[in-house]
Amino acid sequence: MHKIQAVSSALFLSFLLVLVCFEAEADSFWKLENVNANDQRVNEVENSIDKCTQALDTIFTEKPSELIIITYGTRSSFVKGLQSKLGFPRKKASYFKNNSAPRPLQGKYLIPPDQELKNICHEITHHYLEGNAKRKYLLDAKWFDEGTATYLADHIFESGDLERGELQLKKIPKEKYYPLNYMEKERQWNALHKDQRSRYFAYTQAGLMVEYFFGKFGVSKFQTVLEKMRTAPFKEAFFQAIGITDDQFYKDWIASFKKRP
């Protein structure tokens, strides 16, 4: 009798474990697919996405939409994937033949073989942002959009890149920092992105600005900004949530940043 009960208990526990795993999988918004990447790379990507999304779930109030994530073993197959999966014209896809990768688009996120794990989290953060605020408003607030992805990915993976970038930025006179009207529109960010030095300092500055935002106002105010950005442009949403303009915030950040040791 005891033996039968023990077997029954074991079967019940096994059933519960399967049920929990099924529910966890069903609750996940992303699915991983592989195109000629080796097992080690696939495991690293999967574990990194798990780490990233678990942290982001504590910051964002809404889960993003379903996402198919595809890992590639070569840059050439990745570029072909941009054409076949996302409909990129050949010329646009070839821009990514040596480096970089676009953010999640059309419910798909394509990962090249050499993309750093922290940068994968950066792009996943964009997907969360677009699941919590209207995309068109984010594209008119690029410093906030890119800065959030830069700061959170650096924070989650404890890379220290932002801290090192801060040391470099402090060597520059504040008069040469990028003003907000250089970092707001998509076309402006694309222009900064073409030059390696300007790209580095733009991402660093934006990341440090968002770091300051979180330190001064906290997660709840960040959530409020995003909530209001579902119906209002960024500048309006920012003022409603924080009580100051983004221009004043920028001035406050510079004053605070220059005082930091």
The pLDDT profile of the chain, 261 residues, written as one tens digit per residue, is 433 333 333 333 333 333 333 334 446 899 999 999 999 999 999 999 999 999 999 999 999 999 999 999 999 999 999 999 999 999 999 999 998 899 999 999 999 999 999 999 999 999 999 999 999 999 999 999 999 999 999 999 999 999 999 999 999 988 899 999 999 999 999 899 888 899 999 999 999 999 999 999 999 999 999 999 999 999 999 999 999 999 999 999 999 987 877
Last residue of a domain, one of 132, 162, 194: 132
In CATH, what number is assigned to the domain containing residue 108? Answer: 3.40.30.160
Dihedral (Cα; 129, 40, 163, 252), 10-degree rounding: 0
Quote the CA–CA distance of 27 and 234 in Å, as a whole number. Answer: 30
Quote the CA–CA distance of 24 and 162 in Å, as a whole number. Answer: 33
- Whether 123 and 150 share a structural domain: no
- Whether 162 and 229 share a structural domain: yes
- Would you report the helix, strand and coil content of the chain in percent, each value rounded to 5? 65, 5, 25
The pTM of this model reads 0.88
- Whether 117 and 233 share a structural domain: no
- Inside any domain, residue 243: yes
Residue-number span of the structural domain to which 124 is assigned: 28-132
- Inside any domain, residue 3: no
* The predicted structure's pLDDT at residue 7: 36
Query: Residue 51 in contact with residue 156, Cβ under 8 Å?
Result: yes
- Whether 81 and 139 share a structural domain: no
- Whether 182 and 163 share a structural domain: yes
* The predicted structure's pLDDT at residue 245: 98
- Whether 52 and 172 share a structural domain: no
Last residue of a domain, one of 101, 132, 163: 132
* The predicted structure's pLDDT at residue 153: 98
Residue 111 pairs in a beta bridge with 71
Last residue of a domain, one of 82, 102, 132: 132
Q: How many domains does the chain have?
A: 2
Quote the CA–CA distance of 70 and 41 in Å, as a whole number. Answer: 12
- Inside any domain, residue 12: no
* The predicted structure's pLDDT at residue 260: 79
* The predicted structure's pLDDT at residue 21: 39
